[in-house]
Amino acid sequence: MATIRTALTGYTRYRGREGQWSFLLHRITGLGVLLFLGIHILDTATVFFYPSLYSHAIAIYRTWPASLGEVVLVFCLFYHGVNGLRIAYFDMVSPKRWMISFERRSSLWTLLIAFILWLPPAVLMIRTMLIFDFGMFGGA
Amino acid sequence: MSTSTIEVPEVPRRVKVPSNYETTAWRWMRYSGVLLIPLAWIHIVLQDAIVSAQNIDLNYVAMRWAILGWRIYDIFLLSFAFAHGMNGLRQVLMDYFSTDSARRTFAWVLFVLWLAITGIGATAIIGGVR
Amino acid sequence: MSQATLKIYRYNPEEDAKPHYDTFTLEVEPEDRILDTLEHIKGYIDGSLSFRRSCAHGVCGSDAMRINGHSRLACKVLVKDLDAGEILIEPLLGLPVLKDLIVDLTPFFDHYKEIMPYLVNNDPPPEKERLQSEAERARFDDTTKCILCAACTTACPPFWSNRRYVGPAAIVNAHRFIFDSRDQGTAERLEVLARPDGVWRCRTVFNCTEACPRGIRITKAIAEVKHAIETGDLTTFVTPVEEE
Amino acid sequence: MTQTHEFEVIIVGGGGAGLMAAMYASQGAKTAVISKLYPSRSHTGAAQGGIGAALGNSEEDHAEWHTFDTVKGSDYLGDQDAIEFMCLEAVQSVYDLEHMGLPFSRTPDGRIAQRYFGGHTNNVTGKPVMRSCYAADRTGHMILQTLYQQCIKNGIRFFDEYHVMDLLIENGAVAGVVAYELATGELHVFRAKAVIIATGGYGRIWEITSNAYSFTGDGVALTLRRGIPAEDMEFFQFHPTGILRLGILITEAVRGEGGVLINDKGERFMERYASHVKDLASRDVVSRAMYLEMREGRGIGGKRYLYLDVRPDTVNKYAEADGRTRPDGSLYRVTAQEILSKIPDITDFCRTYLGVDPVKDPIPVQPTAHYAMGGIPTDKLGRVVVDENNTVLPGLYAAGEVACVSVHGANRLGTNSLVDLIVFGKHAGIDAAKYAQGASLQPLPDDPTAYTQETIHKLMTGDGSEKVAEITRDLRAMMFDHVGVFRIEEGLKEAQVKLEELKERYQHVCVRDQSKQYNTELTNTWELGNLLDLAQAVTVAALARTESRGAHAREDYPKRDDANWLKHSLAWMKDGQIVLGYKPVTITKYQPKERVY
Ligand SMILES: Cc1cc2nc3c(=O)[nH]c(=O)nc-3n(C[C@H](O)[C@H](O)[C@H](O)COP(=O)(O)OP(=O)(O)OC[C@H]3O[C@@H](n4cnc5c(N)ncnc54)[C@H](O)[C@@H]3O)c2cc1C
Ligand code: HEM
Ligand code: SF4
Ligand code: F3S
Ligand code: FES
């Protein structure tokens, strides 16, 4: 029991640095994407099993909270991907780069790259959301 | 006493380590992850940003799956992404449940879930829009 | 001379139902070690404050504790190294607290023993030394520095949640033998480390490397061990530590 | 509740000597190690420079040369049979360590690397010789780790964080020990046929010391209380280079690699005190030279410290002046990188505690209390001898810094302590197991823990008008002033008076923490009692010895006096007072000569 508590409160009681935060973010984004993916597989599968339900599902995706969620999802996937690549590169190709200076710098770069990659699709998606859900830019 | 510099022969050291599930899983996370970069990124940028849910409906899905390439693409995406994610979840749970019985239990649950959902997804992709 | 305030985690199982914090204010020099301040408190203010210590210069590994939230050796942190303001002193995380800053190290040493932390070589020894080139020796130099202080293992999130994880310190000590050209027990050692609670629980969180008072490149060492398990190759990926 | 355990051999102390003894004893007897620290935290781990053995891996060397250097270093007070035995055994012991896995640094051809150290010379040319086998600057750490690892491999029983507080002797033989378990506050009786004491030294008596908090001489103190004498207590080594104020050691290897000591005027003053080997003279010589420099006002800024300079420019300048060459004949030149790679830990200490980078700035140093040459008298098999006639106390052994064989005499040579641990630890272990096979357990006294319980009870119930921390502080400052590098009659007499006062004050301390678990206040308080007793033995023995020899430098008797003082002192404790006796030095090959470096 004590270990579970430590597991949950450790992040506030231990002042980890970049590594700890990128690990948490990697884990949260990974699990977030997985949750979405599970749902997404099931709702898409309705096209074969219950085609009539599909439009209901899609309708939910079209609401603005879902649209915002997708914006976040895209960030999660980019961050998780870039960070996963960073880890895989250090692990598989160049273990000697696992040193403090590299770790700190590369964690920040990862965040930055994920952010830059995310911006264009995010702008597009937010624009679409504003058009469809809020009738801006002349609406649809 | 010796002042010469006889190099000690460098025999490359190798050992045989029987490979086990965890080792394979670790490797899998990295290889599948790298593959997922094009697969997942293209998918999500295309569907969510460029096409967007606003323009997706049964017809769109039917049109897309009319092209065999997209079906193969989606099959790949499904198998890699979901297996990667489910194994990730299994690893996360292993951090929090350390008894063998708990680990066995959730490993089975996750396996069944993975099989079922992958099966459903694959059926849909192969079966197409009805 | 200036004043410092220390907020210290207190727990005496014979008296307290729950841990609490005590605050002490005392005169300090900027060059004082945190250990000096603790000794001062124990000597002059509250004799019951309990902690381990021995060498007082960072080589024995007794006084690892959490200082301002980081695993550190109290004898290797000077008052001036810390931000101004209250200094927070707590026991290591992830091991049962026995009293004040003293934690139960049994799980830690058990993991150390699990990975066969000794040279295995069943050939009859030569008359003189076994030869080893400077390059072979350099490969595991970094991991010979470990003083078993437990700062790393108790900074590791996977260890907080799963005490069965062997933890970075044990892997560091395994590394020291795995890449020693004289060792013959490596295959067996790697098998232990390939188990579910071996190296694979490491998620490269890096808290260990940041915490190590001996500056060991722990995450690098772990990555090299992972490689050895994965490929059986004990040479290619292993490089001596370079200066940053 | 007292638990009783039964073993054949009990080892008290998990440092280098204790673990070595455990490895060998366990091969022939049921063995356990009791240690007040986790073994890996013993002070052997702090040893930096190296372990001396005439392997001759880099240049010509012989065990006889090592023997002579040790005899000379000891200022002829070392017992020459034991020294010869140690220096011969050293070679095999170092190979044994290597076979156990010790990761020595290596020469280009793959052998154990060796380097210069103070007092180690080529007996023909008088030049320094590379005799110190090393693993970077953490040789002791590697020895301790390697031995601990081997003990784990051999499944040796450990009782960690148990303080041994009393030795049980029945019918003139060892019956066992009484230990206090820190985790529970309970007393344990360990019955044993043989007991090996390996508890290390007692440098904590002095204010500036390289020694750990736990170096409180428990072993010597508890045998002293049981009627066993302590030998040569007046000889305590002050290492020349401790970090200013903190006393943290900067190994002699820094000078071995070419570092030099510099005074306020920028002079390399050791040229004046030891024209041959200069900065690599024996420790007592260098420490005294430093004191004299500081006394003449040539300390840095007139203060009581000097510089140790290991910047590459300085090293190269003086190496050239000395005509120092590499083994292949080329000129000795170093780069900053090379220096850093040979002394990484020292560099770390300087950066952490002084904010000084040793390859860019000189290191402020002062002499620091370092090593106890004296201790429990033993023969060369580690058996404790209890009188002038070397009568053995059956079943009792001592090894390591706690013991006085005596191989270090009046001054220990650098690297010889680690040799001592390994060689005599091993032989004590072997002999104890052998003895245990032929002996039976002694009966226990009626109430084996009575004495210990009473001691603890007194400490827990004192009137509390005095503070342990204050007595400790006063003791250490007083001893550093009066019984330090230089000694003089008035100072020693004053120290004696002060010690009486301090012991009186100690009667009034009280342990406030009344809890059972992890009562470190109690153990600290008990340890202070040991320091006080040992300080008394040191002072009384120092006052009696009216000559200067090795580490014992009397300003009022500056000459060595072989006619009267070529003998070991023995100090007994009788009713709280120290009583002295003497026994002869064993001289085999080397007749005393004047000692010049
Ligand atoms: C900084 C430093 C550097 C040095 N460098 C060198 C060097 O380069 N070369 C060299 O030859 N020598 C060197 N020395 C000297 C040498 O390291 C020591 O003399 C030696 O390590 C002592 O070893 P030991 O086994 O006797 O004691 P230790 O290693 O100190 O072990 C003592 C053990 O006894 C235990 N103990 C103590 N009291 C009790 C008790 N009451 N009950 C139970 N257990 C107890 C402790 O827990 C510990 O395990 C150095 C010393 C210092 C301080
Ligand atoms: C886009 C490309 C991706 C890459 C490069 C990638 C890479 C990785 C890597 C290397 C790991 C292992 C981390 C570790 O062991 O420390 C990992 C873990 C994980 N991944 Fe991915 N991944 C990607 C996509 C995904 C997707 C699409 C999902 C969701 C379905 C996902 C879910 C997870 C989960 C849940 C974990 C476990 C996290 C943890 O252990 O904390 N990943 N990923
Ligand atoms: S690896 Fe570093 S932090 Fe971990 S136990 Fe060893 S010395 Fe301590
Ligand atoms: S903190 Fe833990 S996860 Fe790995 S890199 Fe260090 S062991
Ligand atoms: S007291 Fe030894 S490491 Fe701090």
Distance, CA of D512 to CA of D529 (rounded, Å): 17
Distance, CA of C225 to CA of A68 (rounded, Å): 43
- Full DSSP string of D493-551: HHHHHHHHHHHHHHTTB------STT-HHHHHHHHHHHHHHHHHHHHHHHHH--S-BTT
Q: Shortest CA distance to D98 belongs to which of C138, C125, B3?
A: C125
Domain with residue D260: its CATH number is 3.90.700.10
Interface of B with C (CB under 8 A): 7-8, 10, 12-18, 20, 22-23, 25-27, 91, 94-96, 98, 103
Domain with residue C99: its CATH number is 3.10.20.30
Cross-chain Cβ contact A14/C70 below 8 Å = yes
Number of separate domains in chain C: 2
Q: What is the pLDDT of residue C6?
A: 96
Q: Shortest CA distance to D414 belongs to which of D91, D200, D139?
A: D139
Who's near C209: CB < 8 A, 6+ residues apart? A19, A98, A99, A100, A103, C152, C216, C217, C218, C219, C220
Which residues of chain D lie closer than 8 angstroms to B3, CB-CB? 58-59, 327-328
Q: How far is the CA of C58 from the centre of ligand 4 (A)?
A: 22
Band (pLDDT 50/70/90 cuts) for residue B10 is low
CB A28 within 8 A of CB A21: no
User: D121: which strand partners?
Assistant: D128
Least confident of A52-61, D204-213, D381-390: A52-61
Q: What is the pLDDT of residue B1?
A: 41
- Is D12 inside a domain boundary? no
Catalytic residue among D115, D283, D487, D505: D283
Structural domain of residue B109, as residue ranges?
22-126
CB D401 within 8 A of CB D371: yes
- State the ligand closest to the CA atom of C60: 5
C106 Cβ closer than 6 Å to some ligand 5 atom: no
pLDDT tens string D42-53: 999 999 889 999
Band (pLDDT 50/70/90 cuts) for residue D1 is low
CA distances from D337 to D126, D341, D343, D587 (A): 30, 6, 10, 46
Interface membership of B95 toward A (CB under 8 Å): yes
Which residues of chain A lie closer than 8 angstroms to B130, CB-CB? 47-48, 51
Strand bridging mode D2-6 / D186-191: parallel
Q: What is the pLDDT of residue D330?
A: 87
Q: How far is the CA of A30 from the centre of ligand 2 (A)?
A: 5
pLDDT tens string D72-129: 999 999 999 999 999 999 999 999 999 999 999 999 999 999 998 888 999 999 888 9
Cross-chain Cβ contact D141/C50 below 8 Å = no
Residue A52 has pLDDT above 70, yes or no: yes
Distance, CA of C123 to CA of A135 (rounded, Å): 82
Q: Shortest CA distance to D404 belongs to which of D532, D528, D583?
A: D583
**Angle between the N-to-C axes of helices B21-44 and B68-96, in degrees from 0 to 180, rounded to the nearest 10:** 130
Q: Shortest CA distance to D494 belongs to which of D552, D541, D543?
A: D543
- What is the pLDDT averaged over residues A55-84? 93
Q: Residues enclosing ligand 1, CB less than 6 A?
A: D 12-18, 34-37, 39, 42-44, 46-51, 139-140, 163-164, 198-201, 210-211, 218, 249, 251, 371, 400-402, 414-418, 421
> Which protein residue's CA is at the shortest distance from atom 1 of ligand 4?
C156
CB C146 within 8 A of CB C214: yes
Enter the tokens of residue A43. 């709702």
**How close B99 comes to chain D (CA, Å)?**
27
- Full DSSP string of C127-141: SSPPP--HHHHHHTT
- What is the pLDDT averaged over residues C155-182? 95
Q: What is the pLDDT of residue B6?
A: 57
Structural domain of residue D481, as residue ranges?
450-565
Q: What is the pLDDT of residue B8?
A: 59
Reply yes or no: is the peptide bond before residue D406 cis, omega within 30 of 0.
yes
- Is D531 inside a domain boundary? yes
Which residues of chain A lie closer than 8 angstroms to C237, CB-CB? 95
Instruction: Report the residue from C195, C200, C235 with minimal CB separation from B26.
Output: C200
**How close C142 comes to chain A (CA, Å)?**
12
Q: What is the pLDDT of residue B2?
A: 43
The amino acid at residue D282 is: S
C63 Cβ closer than 6 Å to some ligand 5 atom: yes
Which of D366, D392, D412 is the endpoint of a domain? Answer: D366
pLDDT tens string D220-241: 999 999 999 999 999 999 999 9
Interface membership of C136 toward B (CB under 8 Å): yes
Residue A3 has pLDDT above 90, yes or no: no
Enter the tokens of residue D48. 């930096």
Three-state helix/strand/coil letters over B58-119:
HHHHHHHHCCHHHHHHHHHHHHHHHHHHHHHHHHHHHHHCCCHHHHHHHHHHHHHHHHHHHH
Structural domain of residue C96, as residue ranges?
2-103
Distance, CA of D174 to CA of D443 (rounded, Å): 10
User: D162: which strand partners?
Assistant: D181
Distance, CA of C74 to CA of D393 (rounded, Å): 43
- Is B48 inside a domain boundary? yes
- Is B12 inside a domain boundary? no
Who's near D364: CB < 8 A, 6+ residues apart? D243, D244, D300, D305, D306, D307, D308, D354, D356
Note whether C117 and C211 are same-domain residues.
yes
Domain with residue D478: its CATH number is 1.20.58.100
Q: Shortest CA distance to D46 belongs to which of D185, D216, D225, D248?
A: D248
Q: Is A61 exposed, middle or buried (0-12, 13-18, 19+ CB in 10 A)?
A: middle
CB C212 within 8 A of CB C151: yes
**Could you give the count of Cα atoms lying within 13 Å of D522 in the half-sphere of its Cβ?**
26
Distance, CA of D419 to CA of D92 (rounded, Å): 11
Domain with residue C111: its CATH number is 1.10.1060.10
Distance, CA of A101 to CA of D267 (rounded, Å): 41
Chain A neighbors (3+ CB pairs < 8 Å): B, C
Who's near C161: CB < 8 A, 6+ residues apart? A3, A4, A6, A7, A10, B95, B96
Note whether D246 and D359 are same-domain residues.
yes
- Is B5 inside a domain boundary? no
Which residues of chain C lie closer than 8 angstroms to A15, CB-CB? 68-70
Q: Shortest CA distance to D461 belongs to which of D503, D522, D519, D516?
A: D522
- State CA B93 to chain mean position distance: 17
Selected residues 12-31 of chain C with any CB under 8 Å from a CB in chain D = 12-15, 31
B75 Cβ closer than 6 Å to some ligand 2 atom: no
- What is the pLDDT averaged over residues A10-27? 90
Least confident of A126-140, B1-15, C182-196: B1-15
CB C151 within 8 A of CB C215: no
Q: What is the pLDDT of residue B52?
A: 84
- Is B107 inside a domain boundary? yes
Note whether D245 and D360 are same-domain residues.
yes
Number of separate domains in chain B: 1
- What is the pLDDT averaged over residues C64-77? 96
Strand bridging mode D403-404 / D376-377: parallel
Interface membership of B75 toward A (CB under 8 Å): no
Note whether D267 and D361 are same-domain residues.
yes
Cross-chain Cβ contact D353/C31 below 8 Å = yes
Buried b (16+ CB within 10 A) or exposed e, A71-90: bebbbbbbbbbbbbbbbbeb
Q: What is the pLDDT of residue D324?
A: 85
Q: How far is the CA of C138 from the centre of ligand 1 (A)?
A: 27
How does DSSP classify residue C101?
T
Which of C103, C128, C144 is the endpoint of a domain? Answer: C103
Note whether C224 and C126 are same-domain residues.
yes
**Does D111 participate in catalysis according to the annotation?**
no
Instruction: Report the residue from D45, D149, D469 with minimal CB separation from C60.
Output: D45
Q: What is the pLDDT of residue B9?
A: 60
Who's near C42: CB < 8 A, 6+ residues apart? C49, C51, D469, D520, D521, D524
- What is the pLDDT averaged over residues D322-335? 86
Name the phi and psi angles at D181, rounded to 5.
-85, 115
Helix (H) / strand (E) element for D21: namely helix D16-25
- What is the pLDDT averaged over residues C75-95? 93
pLDDT tens string D422-457: 999 999 999 999 999 999 999 999 899 999 999 999
- What is the pLDDT averaged over residues A107-121? 95
Q: How far is the CA of C204 from the centre of ligand 4 (A)?
A: 5
Residue A1 has pLDDT above 50, yes or no: no
Enter the tokens of residue B6. 């006889």
Q: What is the pLDDT of residue C66?
A: 96
pLDDT tens string D249-268: 998 889 988 999 999 999 99
Number of separate domains in chain D: 2
Q: What is the pLDDT of residue D341?
A: 85
CB B47 within 8 A of CB B39: no
**How close B57 comes to chain A (CA, Å)?**
7
Q: What is the pLDDT of residue B16?
A: 87
Residue B3 has pLDDT above 50, yes or no: no
Mean pLDDT of chain D, nearest integer: 94
pLDDT tens string D270-317: 999 998 888 988 899 999 999 999 999 999 998 989 999 999 999 999
- Is D455 inside a domain boundary? yes
> Which protein residue's CA is at the shortest distance from atom 2 of ligand 3?
C212
Name the phi and psi angles at D206, rounded to 5.
-105, 155
- State the ligand closest to the CA atom of D250: 1
**Could you give the count of Cα atoms lying within 13 Å of D346 in the half-sphere of its Cβ?**
32
- Is B2 inside a domain boundary? no
Distance, CA of D207 to CA of D163 (rounded, Å): 24
Who's near D422: CB < 8 A, 6+ residues apart? D16, D20, D51, D90, D93, D94, D96, D97, D143
CA distances from C167 to C193, C215, D23, D417 (A): 10, 17, 28, 35
Note whether D355 and D461 are same-domain residues.
no
- Is B69 inside a domain boundary? yes
Place of tokens 């949260």: A28
Q: How far is the CA of C130 from the centre of ligand 4 (A)?
A: 34
Least confident of C195-209, D337-351, D556-570: D337-351
Distance, CA of D178 to CA of D226 (rounded, Å): 13
CB B129 within 8 A of CB B65: yes
Q: How many Cβ contacts (< 8 angstroms) between chains A and C?
A: 102
- Is B6 inside a domain boundary? no
pLDDT tens string B71-92: 999 999 999 999 999 999 999 9
Domain with residue B101: its CATH number is 1.20.1300.10
CA gyration radius for chain A? 19
pLDDT tens string D484-529: 999 999 999 999 999 999 999 999 999 999 999 999 999 999 999 9
> Which protein residue's CA is at the shortest distance from atom 5 of ligand 4?
C204
Give CA angle at A13 (A11, A18), nearest 5°.
45
Q: Where are the beta strands (DSSP E) in D271-335?
A: 306-309
**Percent of chain A residues topping a pLDDT of 90:** 61
pLDDT tens string B30-66: 999 999 999 999 999 998 888 888 888 888 999 999 9
Mean pLDDT of chain C, nearest integer: 94
Q: What is the pLDDT of residue B51?
A: 87
- What is the pLDDT averaged over residues C196-208? 95
Place of tokens 């960030």: A75
Cross-chain Cβ contact B95/A61 below 8 Å = no
